[in-house]
Every structure is written in structure tokens, then in C-alpha cells.
Amino acid sequence: MNFIAGVFKPPCSVLISLADGRTRKQVPIKKDNGQTVMLPLFQSQETIIGEVLVEPTQGKKFEHNGIKIELLGQIELFFDRGNFYDFTSLVRELDVPGELYERKTYPFEFSTVEMPHESYNGVNVRLRYILKVTIGRNYVPNMVEYQEFVVRNYTPPPPINNSIKMEVGIEDCLHIEFEYNTSKYHLKDAILGKIYFLLVRIKIKNMELEIRRRESTGSGSNTYVETETLAKFELMDGAPVRGESIPIRLFLSPYELTPTYRNINNKFSVKYFLNLVLVDEEDRRYFKQQEITVYRLLED
């Protein structure tokens, strides 16, 4: 039994560490198993420096076919789970084929890396960045070690941010106008606006504002759309009267939003909508939906 265990024991240990690993900001990321892990945070055009430590098991030498490290940006669609589409791929050769007798450290550097897309873990798609070390072996599978990291990219405030004005009406029964002050919001922003009741001939019981996220993945017959309601905010409880106006003030920071992602590498999109819902006394629902743009503003 000990002999069998020895056969399958890895011939060495591999540790990937970042040069600024202790000082770089870490962010919590929820994994598939529900556990939350802390991962280092980067943004596009940063330089990633670190080292790979390889140590033979119990001081025994082992042969290898070369050692390399890759920086990969990958998209995985869950209907095609296990197949990763690489949109960023950089490689550094760390060692030529040979033998290792003792612990060895290999420095690496990826300079001003273009990382155009943010890390994203959605319902049907995942976008991730990893450092991947591969140790080539003869006659047995290669040894592979991963270190995941997170990318977030920041956008300056838009120079033009128009208000949204819309009307909702049911002929001779209901006519309301609603206005949101802006159409583009950063992740810590507040949605401000007003609702005007111009005609009310049905008995409205309550009114709420929803934030919805729509994730579209794939294309053609393999298109999957998932809509999640992330927030429900009650604007009014009780019947409004003609001429009444209801203020809107909804803060976004309590909710787990991402920026709007439009057609990321022809693989997926993430869009956000404000959904205004009115419910009458017979529980009939009237709603009006409007797309908004969400962006990530550089935090202090």
C-alpha cells in the first residue's frame, strides 16, 4: 500500500507567489462550491511580477521536460463546461529540460499586460485570469499548478449622461410619467427620479422599482438568457391620486452589481434594467422596463 501511495505522490511541490502579494489589495470571490476566497486584484496594463518555487519531494531528484508559466484570460460557458476559450495568452519559459535535485526559484515578469475584460462569475458563464505553471514530464501526465487573480477596470464619468423620461398608460384608465435623472450609473451611485400620476382610474395597491440583470451567453440556437431580479424597492403603498408625484431614491451600493458588459469576445453580455411595477387591487401587474448602463468608477 505504501508503495502504491509513493507511485502517485507528486515528485515536487510548486508554489506561485506575487512580488507584492502581501501589500496588493485582495477581493473576496465566491467559488462554485459556495466558499469565498480572497484573490489579488489587478487592472489592465499592470505589470505582474513574481516567482515560482519548485521543490523536489523528500529531496529526491526528478526529471522534467521543461518548466513554463502562462498568463491566461479565459471564458468558460457552462453549457460547454471544461472547454476554455483563451482571449489572452502569454508564456514565459522558466527552465529547459533537465533534472532538479533541490529547491529552485524562478522569477517571472509579464509587463503592462492587456487585460481588457473584467473577471466575472455569472449564472451561465465565467471569465477568469490565471497564472498557470506547467512542468513537462515523460511517460506520466504533466504537473500543473494554478494561481487565479481578479481584474477590474475603471471608467471615468461619462461626459454625457442624459435623463430617462417615459410614459406608461392604459387608455382612459391610467397615465403616469416617470423620470430618472440619469441613464448611466456607477456601482456606488443612487438612482434619483420622480413619478407623476396624470390619470388614475384603477385602484393601485402598491408600486415598486426592480433592478434586473440579464445575462446572455452563446449565439444562434445556443443562446441562453438568464434574468435575475437583484433588488425590489417599494416606492408607494396605497392608492395614488391624480396630480400626485412620488420621489425615487434607490442606492446601488447594497447590491452585488457588475458593470454593463457588451458582447465580450462574442461570448456573452450582461445588461441592467430598471423595471417599474404597479399592482392593482386585483393583483394585476403593469410594468415598464428601461435599460441603464452601469460602470465602475475608480475608488479612492
Question: pLDDT digits over 35-90, tens only?
Answer: 899 999 999 999 999 999 999 988 788 899 999 999 999 999 987 777 899 999 99
Answer yes or no: are the C-beta atoms of 153 and 143 closer than 8 Å.
no
- Give residue for cell 476554455: 84
Q: What mean pLDDT comes out for the span 140-163?
A: 93
Order the strands of the 190-200 sheet from edge to edge. Answer: 164-170, 174-180, 190-200, 245-251
The residues with which 100 forms a beta bridge, in sequence order, are 62
Quote the CA–CA distance of 217 and 228 in Å, as a whole number.
14
CB 264 within 8 A of CB 271: no
| pTM across the whole model | 0.87
Spatial neighbors of 100 by CB under 8 A, at least 6 apart, are 12, 54, 56, 61, 62, 64
- At 174 the pLDDT is 75
Nearest Cα to 244, choosing from 297, 178, 166, 292? 178
188 pLDDT band (50/70/90 cuts)? very high
Torsion angle, alpha carbons of 193, 197, 202, 207, to 10:
20
- The Cα 235–Cα 232 span in angstroms is 9
